[in-house]
Structure 1
């Protein structure tokens, strides 16, 4: 392929309801989209960085800057252009995995569109639809939480994930378990606890949770391994897993019984597939996390979640979980599942009228 240019586009997407975690509350998503144009096709990628460096060191403005100044010029100078060449071309630049993932995804989308091949088939998917879970943010009251969970179960979601933090953990979990019975239930701490909280976190064990996600700091693999020995709830790692190498290390240390794969966090869908393969080789189940993606990112996540090692429902919710109007044709839940896109590349593209309405800035970088 020949790279003619790259468009960086900012869009603002209001959420249907505020989404609160231990990192803060999101009411809108300031999304950076990357569109690459080649001689034969164009492709889209979505950067999942937040507006501030709270979930990770990356944030939207920094992602746009590093793409503009370093990553896109490096890719343009590469001797060949295909998705597998993106990673090596960008290796000299440390970190910035979310920006790298957006650029790699756009190249991969363009390449597969040109060849008429779906992303799901390229990654090795074995399912035509995937079961969906939903992530429930921290609420202002138990009653509000129960109303939200009840609505999601009525909509057909196959698994409930509760965000927790100190002061909002045991009692919300108890309330959901007692009210809804044996619903598949897990919790996500987003690094909110300390190793000294192990005894407190063990109070979650009686509720039969599928897992507790990232309870400790992302760099504390040894702390997670020790916590895993002190509680019976399986420990799942999210922020700690940045590559296939870190996944292998976490598994070897006993720090992760389950792994949450977020493609943006690990540098793209090709590295996400490598993490999947490492986990499958070690008998560790994986599932696909979410970052409030639009339909572009959701399409790619659903394709990834159709791989054989994704044994738990992911945070691949329907479009209306987050957005009244999605960038693409909406993803609609059917019997608790979403269909895997079957068209070339991502299998979806932005709706022009919606894209115009939500865009706040565009920048064309000719190459």
Structure 2
């Protein structure tokens, strides 16, 4: 049985700040969940909540409190009562009475899956039903005050082999940058991500983006603006992709019923873990919605789990989870994630992450540690 939980709060500086509609992201703060059983077998996962509560209401500070005071104690009590042997598909039951805090819940749930893979010696990708050996990778470019520099950055991504370029946009900062890249790369797969920054009065400008042959426009309106999203999608040829709006299978079904989107951005942290991801993908498939895996500036630990998710057969578009060197001078894995060939990353076939974690790097970037004997709760 799992006996110990260790939380490592880490902070890794990004090589280049990312400018989005929410502001600048300059470092990746994360909480690593490490579970250890009586035989020393470990499971690892990453809570991907950002430093500021701008993407969702969760942030690193709140996640630390929720994990230490609420989720880990509940998980410990659930472990004592759960049927043995434990199967990770039931781990979410430990938090049935908790509202929200999906990224915190996901970190524990995914650590259980990772531990189970190590315990049974089965690659996690096989346990989840993945079917790809390699996945396509796209690059995301932040907003820039210089169109020339932005176009040059897109040139560099194309030269490195990235299969899609996704551009962060906001009202008044959309047509010109998209056109600057599209003019130079007429056949490049492109997408735009607004992070919910547009409002109903901006819809005309969004409709004009139809002429750029984008794969999708991601989260153009605020997460709960369902009726305007449905109206916009009805008027657009370009598919709307929903990110922040979809935190559960129920919201996915609402989006499908209203016709508010045709594409789903899958982030295991936002959805609450691997189990909820699998349920959401089944619902998306039934609704005829495409899916792909987005990113949260994950360290290598969260990146591996995201790439395993991107290997699932329902994924149609390139993932945002690029090589580690794009983001960090040093990552938290012994072997950083890199291209197997230009624009393609090999899906990790690991039975748990423990053997891949660089313990010295975790120690270097750790700002706080919390350890609990789960048998004491």
The 3 A distance-change label for structure 1 pair 28 and 362 is same
TM-superposed deviation, 1:197: 1.5
Number of the residue aligned with 2:25:
26
Number of the residue aligned with 1:123:
128
Correspondence 1:130-209 to 2 at 5 A: 130-209=135-214
- Alignment match of 2:297 (pick from 292, 309, 313): 292
TM-superposed deviation, 1:207: 0.7
Number of the residue aligned with 1:362:
369
The 3 A distance-change label for structure 1 pair 82 and 306 is same
Q: Is 2:43–2:354's contact at 8 Å kept on the other side of the alignment?
A: no
Number of the residue aligned with 1:313:
318
Q: Is 2:44–2:354's contact at 8 Å kept on the other side of the alignment?
A: no
The 3 A distance-change label for structure 1 pair 348 and 316 is farther
Number of the residue aligned with 1:36:
35
Higher alpha-carbon deviation: 155-164 or 137-146: 137-146
3-state SS of the aligned residue for 1:58?
coil
Residue ranges of structure 1 left out of the alignment (5+ in a row): none
Number of the residue aligned with 2:93:
88
CA distance, structure 1, for counterparts of residue 125 and residue 148 of structure 2: 40
Number of the residue aligned with 2:227:
222
| 2:104 is the alignment partner of 1:99 | yes
Number of the residue aligned with 1:12:
11
Q: Is 2:11–2:365's contact at 8 Å kept on the other side of the alignment?
A: yes
Number of the residue aligned with 2:342:
335
CA distance, structure 2, for counterparts of residue 155 and residue 20 of structure 1: 21
Q: TM-score by structure 1 length? A: 0.97
3-state SS of the aligned residue for 1:77?
helix
Q: Is 2:29–2:51's contact at 8 Å kept on the other side of the alignment?
A: yes
- Alignment match of 1:233 (pick from 224, 229, 238): 238
Q: Is 1:10–1:360's contact at 8 Å kept on the other side of the alignment?
A: yes
Higher alpha-carbon deviation: 8-17 or 349-358: 349-358
